[in-house]
Amino acid sequence: MTALLVALAGGVGAVVRFVMEYVVRRRHPTQRPWATVAANVVGTALAGYGAYRLTGLADVHLRSVVLTGVCGGMTTFSSAFAVPAIIAREHHPRYAVALVLATPLLCCGGFLVGMSLAH
């Protein structure tokens, strides 16, 4: 049952990510890569919050649904590197490198912010 709930929650996270990227693309067509970064940062901030809040307080199955499902669906390592690869092929290598370097740093910061908000 937990696996099914994680899968459904992952779908919710993926839809949230899609909506974030869709809204940014509609308003600012050139800013799609930063929508991907934003989805990753928001997802890791939620993971930081959830990791702190749910540890010791919630059932391990609930933690799996929230952290692996929702947060995992929102934050995909593959798109964090696929988007810069596409940008590099479109003759913007410096921009691609900036995204590759900024994403992990911003996500670590997001995770720490999420944890601090949970205190």
Q: Domain-by-domain residue ranges, the chain?
A: 2-118
Q: Measured between alpha carbons, how far is residue 79 from residues 40, 86, 99 in Å?
A: 9, 10, 11
**pLDDT, tens only, 63-90:** 899 999 999 999 877 777 888 888 888 8
- State what percent of residues in the chain have pLDDT above 70: 97
* pLDDT band with cut points at 50, 70 and 90 for residue 36: confident
Q: What is the mean pLDDT of the chain?
A: 88
- The pLDDT score that the predictor gives to residue 32 is 65
pLDDT at 46 over 70: yes
- How many Å is the Cα radius of gyration of the chain? 15
